[in-house]
C-alpha cells in the first residue's frame, strides 16, 4: 500500500539522522491523510521515485505544521496533543528544522525542475504563513487578501504535488500546476468552513479556533459584509478573544443566518471547478476523485 511505503521512507530518512532525540520526537508526531501524496501519485502513477518524493513532501508538510502549531500556540493536532504541547516550543521548532533540512537533502537527488518546484513552494508557504500572522493582527475584511494568503500558505505545496507528479510522468506540468493551485485554494476554504461547522471531537482540535486566533476566514468576511451595525460591533468584540459557548452559538447562528457557510462552500466549489477545467482532456478519473475527497470532506 502506498501510504505505508511512504511512511517507511519517512522513517528511513529520520533514521539516517542517527539521533535518538529526533527519532523519539518524530515518533510522537502523527501523519494525516497524506492528501498531497495521493494527488502526486494520482498524476505520476505509483513507483519508487514518486513514493520517495511523496515522503519528502510529507516531511515538509509535517515540518510546516510543527512550526505552525508553535506560531498558533495550538495544543492539539490530529486528535492528539501537539508536539509543542508535549515537549515545548523549542523542541517542536528544532524537529521541524530537521525534517525540513532532511527533506531538502533528499530532494537534491531529483532533477532540477522538481527541486525548483518544491523549494519555490516552500518559500511561498512560508511567505503565506507570515501573511496569515500579519493579517491576524486586525479583523481582515479583504477577501482578495484572504484568497492570496490561502494560495501561498496552502495551495503552493498542493500545486507542487500535482506539478511534480506531471514532471515525473512526462505530462504537461503547467496544466497540473494550475489544477493543484485551484484545488489548494478550495481545500483551504473548506478547512476554514469545517473549523466552524464541525465540533472539536471531529476536528481533533478546538472548534472555531480560527476566529479566537485572530483569523478572519472567508465565512467571517461574508458575515462582516452582511451584518447590520449592531451585529458588526458584536462580531468585532468577539474577534481574537477566547470564545464562550454563548459566543460560539451567536457566531454560528449569524454565520448560517446570512448564508456565510453556504456561500463559502460555493466559492470553494468554484475553485474546484476551475481545477477540473484546467485538466480537461487529461483522461484521469483519479483527479476528479481527489477533488471530491478534498472538497466533500467532513474533517
Q: Per the structure block, which three cell numbers stand in for 2?
A: 502506498
Q: How many residues form the binding site for ligand FPP (CB under 6 A)?
A: 16
Q: What residues contact 107, with CB distance under 8 A and at least 6 apart?
A: 53, 56, 114, 115, 118, 119
**Quick check: 210 binds Mg ion (CB under 5 A)?**
no
User: CA distances (Å), 240 to each of 128, 143, 230, in order?
Assistant: 20, 18, 18
Given candidates 40, 125, 155, 186, which one binds ligand FPP under the rule CB under 6 A?
125
Given candidates 83, 122, 168, 294, which one binds ligand FPP under the rule CB under 6 A?
122
Q: What residues contact 286, with CB distance under 8 A and at least 6 apart?
A: 42
**Quick check: 58 binds Mg ion (CB under 5 A)?**
no
**Quick check: 127 binds ligand FPP (CB under 6 A)?**
no
Candidates 182, 187, 184, 188; CA nearest to 271 is 182
CA distance 76 to 98: 21
Given candidates 22, 56, 95, 96, which one binds ligand FPP under the rule CB under 6 A?
96
Binding span for ligand FPP by CB under 6 A among 45-53, 56-64, 250-258, 259-267: 56-64
Site string for ligand FPP, 144-173 (x = CB under 6 A): ---------xx-------------------
**Collapsed DSSP state (helix, strand, coil) of residue 215:** coil
Given candidates 10, 37, 68, 211, which one binds Mg ion under the rule CB under 5 A?
68
**Quick check: 38 binds ligand FPP (CB under 6 A)?**
no
Interface ranges with Mg ion (CB under 5 A): 68, 72
Amino acid at each position: 500500500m502506498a501510504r505505508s511505503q511512504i511512511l517507511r521512507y519517512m522513517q528511513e530518512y529520520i533514521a539516517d539522522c542517527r539521533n535518538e532525540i529526533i527519532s523519539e520526537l518524530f515518533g510522537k508526531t502523527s501523519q494525516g491523510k497524506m492528501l498531497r501524496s495521493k494527488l502526486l501519485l494520482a498524476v505520476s502513477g505509483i513507483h519508487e521515485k514518486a513514493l520517495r518524493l511523496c515522503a519528502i513532501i510529507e516531511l515538509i508538510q509535517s515540518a510546516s505544521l510543527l512550526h505552525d502549531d508553535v506560531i498558533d500556540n495550538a495544543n492539539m493536532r490530529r486528535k492528539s496533543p501537539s508536539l509543542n504541547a508535549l515537549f515545548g516550543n523549542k523542541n517542536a521548532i528544532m524537529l521541524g528544522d530537521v525534517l525540513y533540512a532532511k527533506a531538502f537533502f533528499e530532494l537534491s537527488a531529483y532533477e532540477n525542475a522538481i527541486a525548483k518546484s518544491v523549494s519555490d513552494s516552500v518559500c511561498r508557504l512560508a511567505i503565506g504563513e507570515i501573511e496569515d500572522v500579519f493579517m491576524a493582527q486586525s479583523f481582515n475584511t479583504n477577501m482578495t487578501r484572504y484568497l492570496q494568503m490561502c494560495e501561498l500558505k496552502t495551495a503552493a505545496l498542493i500545486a507542487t504535488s500535482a506539478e511534480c507528479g506531471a514532471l515525473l510522468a512526462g505530462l504537461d506540468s503547467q496544466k497540473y500546476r494550475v489544477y493543484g493551485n485551484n484545488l489548494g485554494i478550495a481545500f483551504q476554504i473548506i478547512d476554514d468552513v469545517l473549523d466552524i461547522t464541525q465540533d472539536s471531537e471531529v476536528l481533533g482540535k478546538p472548534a472555531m479556533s480560527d476566529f479566537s486566533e485572530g483569523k478572519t476566514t472567508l465565512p467571517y468576511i461574508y458575515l462582516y459584509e452582511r451584518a447590520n451595525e449592531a451585529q458588526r460591533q458584536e462580531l468585532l468584540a468577539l474577534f481574537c478573544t477566547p470564545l464562550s459557548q454563548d459566543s460560539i452559538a451567536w457566531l454560528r447562528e449569524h454565520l448560517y443566518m446570512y448564508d456565510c457557510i453556504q456561500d463559502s462552500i460555493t466559492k470553494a466549489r468554484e475553485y474546484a471547478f476551475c481545477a477540473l477545467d484546467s485538466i480537461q482532456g487529461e483522461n484521469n478519473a483519479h483527479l476528479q476523485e481527489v477533488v471530491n475527497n478534498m472538497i466533500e470532506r467532513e474533517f
